[in-house]
A and B are shown apart, each in its own frame.
Chain A
Amino acid sequence: MSLIPRAAPAASMAFAGRDPAVISLLKMLPLLLLLTFSSAAAPPAAASPSAVHNNNWAVLVCTSRFWFNYRHMANTLSLYRTVKRLGIPDERIILMLADDMACNPRNNYPAQVFNNENHQLNLYGDNVEVDYRGYEVTVENFLRVLTGRHESAVPRSKRLLSDEGSHILLYMTGHGGDEFLKFQDNEELQSHDLADAVKQMKEKHRFKELLIMVDTCQAATLFSQLQSPGVLAIGSSMKGENSYSHHLDSDIGVSVVDRFTFHTLAFFEKLNMYSNASLNSLFNSYDPSMLLSTAYYRMDLYKRALNEVMERYIYF
């Protein structure tokens, strides 16, 4: 900025004696430069036009502990498996599991987690990496992951290192209610906490677009305070409705998956990395009579048409 006023007199002195039109143009040049700089420096708050989507992240959170909440673990692991299969590597996934089901002494099938009583698919597999385990899954750690405000000693694999070109999938499952989500039977995440964290993320340019999927009772109420642009939210049930489990596995002894996640998975299992499906088709696949609840989605903060959306999220 300091160069510009000095350049003007120098230019005028250097070109003294030349064509007056040239001189006037040269005098205009710094002004023009100033204008272009200021327009470029305008805060790219709705930076979507300037930032290009170049990476995908997933934050998958299971907030319930104890053996009878096996299905929440299975939900999260099903999403983990799907997301990995469709192209997001472990380095870009933050998986938070509040308890250990696979190697739980009550598990008849050690190192195996199933989401279906036919036991066809072992969700745990050979290559699972859990970032936050057991007692570490707390509201504080969850908010730290979202906002990126960690202590200096926290390793990179436990941080959400997203930038303004990231598309993030945030999936949460557990027990919830009107405007809250219960963490480990001990504390709660409220809708304004979540909205605040998302707002901080937006301020710090930590995402370009964010898809929040929540599978709990009265999930839609968790989004009531969201205001940041670029956020798309899907909940498994409306206010006053419960989300139900899908079926009971008599071998394992507990319910193994929730209805909303089961149908979401049924949709994704038909896809592979090269498919071209859109979020619209996902929404249309939800049938309230099968879910026994009304799947709710919030699109008002989201600027693009839904039939373009899916590809951008899961694959490049």
Chain B
Amino acid sequence: MMPPSTARRLCFLSLLLLLLLLAAAASATADAAAAEEFTEELLLRPLPDRKALAHFHFRSSAPPASAAGRHHHLFPKAISQLVQKFHISELELSFTQGRWNYEQWGGYDPMSTNNAKPPGVELWAIFDLPLAEIDATWKNLTHTLSGLFCASINFLESSTAFSAPRWGFKLNEGNLRYGALPREAVCTENLTPWLKLLPCRDKAGIASLLYRPSVYKGYYHSQKLKLKSSQSLGIILDQTLTVVLQPNTVSGKQLHSTGGQLQPSWSMEHLFSKKLSGKCLVSKSSRVFVEIEKGIVDNVDKAGSDVSSNNDLFVLSTAPDRSLKELDNLEVQSSSLYEYDVNNYNSDKPLNVGITWKLPLIWSCTRAPYHASRFLMGSGNERGSIAMSFLSTGLDKQLVDSSNDCSIKAVVFQVVPWYVKVYYHSLEVFIDGNSKAISEVVDKIHVTPSEDKLLPGTMEMLLKFPCSMQLATLTLDFDKGFLHIDEYPPDANQGFDIPSALVSFPEFNSSRSYPEADPLFVSPLLENFKEDGVVKSYTEVLLVPLTTPDFSMPYNVITFTCTVLALYFGSLLNALRRRIGEEERGLKKAGILNKRGLIPLLIAKLRGQKVDPSESESTSPASLPRSKLLLKVVFVAVVAIVFHYLSNS
């Protein structure tokens, strides 16, 4: 038996040890949980055509599963379960309504490269699985996403809806799948679950600005979910919402004293009917940026003043906390960003960033080297052509090369549904109006031809255009197919969509780097800007009218009924009124039955007279009809050969 004092001491020590262990465990879990981060950012930018762009960026990141286990306190569990179940290494899902106006809103900056998406739903995913299992996993993924985001993404499950590009979209080893639904509607029901993935939802922080009628009244809105998962870095989830709005302000319609029209002065309240009253409390950082582009900066420099938040051309309503200037290769200042830290604002002193213009100003955004557009040619319901045009926008290639070897590369990726049967051999290229041989322009081409009801037609092409070119056109012929009655959608008379084609320019890089003043913290938005991004643009969606059966019930009823009645009454009258014996005697008298030629026989039959060959009295020799027959056969053969020859030449 131990003395009571040592027993007490032992008890005390063991208790202390236990407490220490618990504390260590708690701190370990706290460390792991603290590694989950959430940041929110908003970027506002005035656009040259009197509109404003608002770009919301939310990033959630979770550490690798092995370190943190299955508990999350900021990261949405639905996404981590999705990544684990389907072994996703990269995924991007975008819901877009409207078309990005490349002429006015730019095509060269990271915003348009990353956030200009084709209308409808676009989904692509890279899986970390053996190639044989990817199609089945893709099918399950589309169903899960359709339940998660209230959209009919499950229509991408069948093999007729998705494709597996190797290098036209993104270089991969066959584990990428791409699908798009151009006609998918995007509305509040898609935004609701998207917002529920954020820790503060739309109740606090930057997401509280999202007044739904404003967002859906815009000219373009695109919500995107991008996730990257790896064993070392865990899962990084980027949710972005890009909206182009028209500020409805009175001042915008005023004429300035100099005669020009001022750009509309707007603020967050004009755009969203709300002010920002504080950040999301669990976010690591919460910032608002106002981007003043190169075009405006150049004008300010020309006017002779310093590019600050208050200058001769414009003034920002609130003084920014910081301003960042982008430095391009030549150390010449291009665009500048004004940063506001939402931490400094709360519900008593809300943040309402705005811009007021002092002088009328016209500027333009930098565009991609070619403006790519696509359209249909031909008429009728049997065949047509898809044409793609590349119009030079005057962007000189950086390495100005006056030699003849200067060329600009363009990669074209296009998926066409099976009922538009494209003949890839009919590809023709015209450069500045002159037809060129395919081998001169097309460097590399990979085609997966469509199979009826099984596969869409995929085309990946690498083109090389001479730098001096103004306009290039590519044309492809197609035949329109027939669908089964069950395959027609309810509004079949509207037509069928061919999803947007993607045109990228691999030699042009749209990255922008801003010097980061705070070395401890990198803004995810600026990080995305700094990433190497190839300049790319999406073409229009094409609407192809196909032959449809006449679905109208009354017409079908009338046609069937009339046919049946005609057959019935015709046969009845025939049976009642026709005297066959009399007809034959009449024919014999007329001598028509004596003729033995095939054509007279046919004519006699058409006239409704019965002909009985056994009764005919033919006096002509047997050889004459045979030679006549031979002559006729030879004649037809000669005509056919001539026609074939003429049509092929």
Question: A residues within 8 Å of B by Cβ?
Answer: 65-66, 100, 102-104, 109-112, 124-136, 153-158, 184-186
Q: Residue of A at shortest CB range from B492?
A: A186
Q: Are A153 and B150 in contact, CB atoms less than 8 angstroms apart?
A: no
CA distance A83 to B155 in the complex (A): 29
Q: Are A155 and B97 in contact, CB atoms less than 8 angstroms apart?
A: no
Which of A65, A103, A127, A155 is within 8 Å of B491, CB to CB?
A65
B23 proximal to A (CB < 8 A) = no
Query: Within the complex, what minimum Cβ distance (angstroms) separates A28 from chain B?
Result: 55
B102 proximal to A (CB < 8 A) = no
Query: Within the complex, what minimum Cβ distance (angstroms) separates B245 from chain A?
Result: 12
CA distance A105 to B213 in the complex (A): 13
Q: List chain A residues, Cβ under 8 A from B551.
A: 186
Which of A65, A103, A126 is within 8 Å of B186, CB to CB?
A103
Q: Are B97 and A103 in contact, CB atoms less than 8 angstroms apart?
A: yes
Q: Are A130 and B150 in contact, CB atoms less than 8 angstroms apart?
A: yes
CA distance A102 to B139 in the complex (A): 29
Which of B139, B147, B490 is within 8 Å of A184, CB to CB?
B490
- Extra contacts, 6 of them, besides A65-B491, A110-B216 (Cβ < 8 A), are A111-B188, A111-B215, A124-B212, A128-B188, A133-B150, A135-B155
Q: List chain B residues, Cβ under 8 A from A130.
A: 150, 189
Q: 22 A-B pairs, CB-CB below 8 angstroms?
A: A103-B97, A103-B185, A103-B187, A103-B216, A111-B213, A111-B216, A124-B187, A128-B188, A128-B192, A129-B189, A130-B189, A131-B147, A132-B152, A133-B150, A134-B152, A135-B152, A136-B154, A153-B154, A153-B157, A154-B154, A155-B146, A155-B147
Q: Are A126 and B490 in contact, CB atoms less than 8 angstroms apart?
A: no
Q: List chain B residues, Cβ under 8 A from A135.
A: 152, 155, 489-490
The 8 A CB mask of B423-451 against A (1 = contact, 0 = none) is 00000000000000000000000000000
Q: List chain A residues, Cβ under 8 A from B47.
A: none
Q: Residue of B at shortest CB range from A156?
A: B147
Question: B residues within 8 Å of A by Cβ?
Answer: 97, 139-140, 143-144, 146-148, 150-152, 154-155, 157, 184-189, 192-193, 202, 212-213, 215-217, 489-491, 551
B151, B155, B189, B213 pick with most chain A CB within 10 angstroms? B189
Query: Within the complex, what minimum Cβ distance (angstroms) separates B508 from chain A?
Result: 34
A110, A132, A186 pick with most chain B CB within 10 angstroms? A110
Q: List chain B residues, Cβ under 8 A from A157.
A: 147-148
Query: Within the complex, what minimum Cβ distance (angstroms) separates A157 from chain B?
Result: 4
Q: Are B188 and A125 in contact, CB atoms less than 8 angstroms apart?
A: yes
Query: Within the complex, what minimum Cβ distance (angstroms) separates A189 from chain B?
Result: 14
Query: Within the complex, what minimum Cβ distance (angstroms) separates B152 from chain A?
Result: 5
User: Contacts A100-B187, A111-B187, A130-B189 hold; do A154 and B143 have CB atoms under 8 A apart?
Assistant: yes
Q: List chain B residues, Cβ under 8 A from A124.
A: 187-188, 212
Q: Are A129 and B150 in contact, CB atoms less than 8 angstroms apart?
A: yes
Q: List chain B residues, Cβ under 8 A from A125.
A: 188
Q: List chain B residues, Cβ under 8 A from A158.
A: 146-147
Q: Residue of A at shortest CB range from B210?
A: A126
Which of B139, B152, B192 is within 8 Å of A153, CB to CB?
B139
Query: Within the complex, what minimum Cβ distance (angstroms) separates B98 from chain A?
Result: 10
CA distance A135 to B486 in the complex (A): 13
Q: List chain A residues, Cβ under 8 A from B152.
A: 132-136
Query: Within the complex, what minimum Cβ distance (angstroms) separates A174 from chain B?
Result: 12
Q: List chain B residues, Cβ under 8 A from A102.
A: 187-188, 216
Query: Within the complex, what minimum Cβ distance (angstroms) separates B406 from chain A?
Result: 44
User: Contacts A126-B212, A156-B147, A158-B147 hold; do A133 and B188 have CB atoms under 8 A apart?
Assistant: no
Q: List chain B residues, Cβ under 8 A from A134.
A: 152, 184-185
Query: Within the complex, what minimum Cβ distance (angstroms) separates B204 from chain A?
Result: 14
Q: Residue of B at shortest CB range from A65?
A: B490
B147, B193, B215 pick with most chain A CB within 10 angstroms? B147
Which of B151, B189, B193, B490 is within 8 Å of A186, CB to CB?
B490
Q: Residue of B at shortest CB range from A97?
A: B189
Query: Within the complex, what minimum Cβ distance (angstroms) separates B600 from chain A?
Result: 53
CA distance A154 to B193 in the complex (A): 18
Q: Are A100 and B185 in contact, CB atoms less than 8 angstroms apart?
A: yes
Query: Within the complex, what minimum Cβ distance (angstroms) separates A112 from chain B?
Result: 6
Which of A100, A112, A126 is within 8 Å of B192, CB to CB?
A126
Which of A104, A111, A132, A136 is within 8 Å of B212, CB to CB?
A111
B147, B148, B152, B185 pick with most chain A CB within 10 angstroms? B185
CA distance A309 to B154 in the complex (A): 39
Query: Within the complex, what minimum Cβ distance (angstroms) separates B74 from chain A?
Result: 21
A65, A126, A185 pick with most chain B CB within 10 angstroms? A126
Q: List chain B residues, Cβ under 8 A from A186.
A: 490, 551
Query: Within the complex, what minimum Cβ distance (angstroms) separates B357 from chain A?
Result: 27
Query: Within the complex, what minimum Cβ distance (angstroms) separates B108 from chain A?
Result: 30
Q: Residue of B at shortest CB range from A126?
A: B212
Q: List chain B residues, Cβ under 8 A from A131.
A: 147, 150
Which of B151, B213, B489 is within 8 Å of A110, CB to CB?
B213
A-B pairs, top 8 by smallest CB distance, nearest first, are A155-B147, A100-B185, A103-B187, A110-B216, A111-B216, A153-B143, A184-B490, A186-B490
Which of A109, A128, A154 is within 8 Å of B189, CB to CB?
A128
Q: Residue of A at shortest CB range from B217?
A: A110
Q: Are B148 and A155 in contact, CB atoms less than 8 angstroms apart?
A: yes
Q: Are B140 and A153 in contact, CB atoms less than 8 angstroms apart?
A: yes
CA distance A103 to B193 in the complex (A): 17
Q: Residue of B at shortest CB range from A130?
A: B189
Q: List chain A residues, Cβ under 8 A from B489.
A: 135
Q: List chain B residues, Cβ under 8 A from A112.
A: 213
Q: Residue of A at shortest CB range from B97?
A: A103
Q: List chain A residues, Cβ under 8 A from B154.
A: 136, 153-154
CA distance A135 to B154 in the complex (A): 11
Q: Residue of A at shortest CB range from B157?
A: A153
Query: Within the complex, what minimum Cβ distance (angstroms) separates A124 from chain B?
Result: 6
Query: Within the complex, what minimum Cβ distance (angstroms) separates A271 from chain B?
Result: 26
Q: Residue of B at shortest CB range from A124?
A: B188
Q: List chain A residues, Cβ under 8 A from B140.
A: 153
CA distance A128 to B150 in the complex (A): 10
Query: Within the complex, what minimum Cβ distance (angstroms) separates A307 from chain B?
Result: 37
Which of A126, A129, A153 is within 8 Å of B193, CB to CB?
A129
Q: Residue of B at shortest CB range from A108?
A: B217
Query: Within the complex, what minimum Cβ distance (angstroms) separates B177 from chain A?
Result: 15
User: Contacts A103-B185, A128-B188 hold; do A109 and B150 have CB atoms under 8 A apart?
Assistant: no
CA distance A111 to B212 in the complex (A): 6
Which of B147, B148, B151, B188 is within 8 Å of A126, CB to CB?
B188
Query: Within the complex, what minimum Cβ distance (angstroms) separates A185 from chain B?
Result: 6
